[in-house]
Amino acid sequence: MKRIAVFTSGGDSPGMNACIRAVVRTAVYHGIEVYGIMRGYSGMIKGEFVKLDSAAVSNTVQKGGTILKSARSQKFMTKEGRQQAFDQLVNNGIDGLVAIGGNGTFTGAMLFEQEFGIPTVGAPGTIDNDLFGTDYTIGYDTAVNTALEAIDKIRDTADSHDRCFFIEVMGRDSGYIAIPCAIGGGAEIVMVPETQMSTEAVIETLQNGWKRSKTSFIVIVAEGEEEGNVHKVAQRVKEAIPELDTRTTIIGHIQRGGSPTASDRLLGSQIGIAAVEGLMNGMRNVMAGIVDRKLVYTPFSDTIHKKKLLNQSFMRMVEILSV
């Protein structure tokens, strides 16, 4: 490895800049040239390459978002687009890639390596924490804390007005953000795709609480919940319990922004170093992750296709603590 490139793709997440910084400085430490590719696969196709050195990533570890920008590229999904991306890498003398992103990013990287042989090591950058092969993804801890701060404030107004708030958090098809928010935020109910809780069960729980003279409630709904979005769930509950004063809140994209927590800065730094050294050791088509506090490299095929299971003990915690 004489020259590598790093890029971010898909949704941004806090801690991506810490990972970029670690990639650059690890490359410099080992005497490898490093380039940043702007705007993910889209920038790779267009040849948006920027040479990076240690100074270029100074004062970035604490910043949210990604200094390399991010984008989703429809063109990279075509053979023609991938050919153009490969030509740009060849023209710039790139020997290997560090891809920071999630499932879609790694799917593209795996196909790209199979067609053109450019080795890639992935870094799990997504707030969803839904990637198999790592206990935590870069940005997850920050997103949970951001959502929890908002939930704490909503709890204050719910209690003041005797209301039931239905709060939607991000997480795509995963309850990994919703569960700790429910436990840490003192929610009475949490709805996540993994458990398939029915709206009827939610109504029954709220009615039981109402009978016990409980007057305010917090219901956390993961955005991928199969019962429907937060507005639909709240509407069906209101129809069943007309006396319940209901409100809905979608926390939304603030969960992606903001300065990363210490945990995400540390994780991003660990993974960035591991990604570069993985390339140096001949690894390809793998994602660097931390499992049981140990560094592991998981094949992209497993990361993409294997399901990361939700800790069911957390669901039991919600049930016990909401009594």
| Neighbouring C-beta atoms of residue 50, cutoff 10 Å | 13
- State yes or no: 12 annotated in a binding site: no
265 annotated among ligand-binding-site residues: no
Q: What does the block give as tokens for 263?
A: 């945990």
127: annotated binding-site residue?
A: yes
Q: Strand pairing partners for 96?
A: 4
The answer to the question of whether 187 is labelled as a binding residue is yes
User: Is 216 annotated to bind ligand?
Assistant: yes
207 is in an annotated binding site: no
Cα 37 to the center of its chain, rounded Å: 20
CA nearest neighbour of 109 among 135, 75, 76, 133: 76
The response to whether 259 counts as a known ligand-binding position is: no
- Is 273 annotated for ligand binding? no
| 113 annotated among ligand-binding-site residues | no
> How far apart are the C-alpha atoms of 214 and 280, rounded to whole Å?
60
Size of the chain in residues: 323
β-bridge mates for residue 291, sequence order: 294
Could you confirm whether 128 is annotated as catalytic? Answer: yes
Q: Which of 12, 87, 95, 128 is catalytic?
A: 128
Strand-pair partners of 97:
5, 120
Q: What does DSSP say about strands 96-101 and 120-124: parallel, antiparallel, or unpaired?
A: parallel
Is 228 labeled as ligand-binding? no
Binding-site positions for ADP: 21-25, 155, 186-188, 212, 214-216
Positions marked catalytic: 128
Binding-site positions for substrate: 126-128, 163, 170-172, 223, 247, 253-256
Binding-site positions for Mg(2+): 103
Binding-site positions: 11, 21-25, 72-73, 102-105, 126-128, 155, 163, 170-172, 186-188, 212, 214-216, 223, 247, 253-256
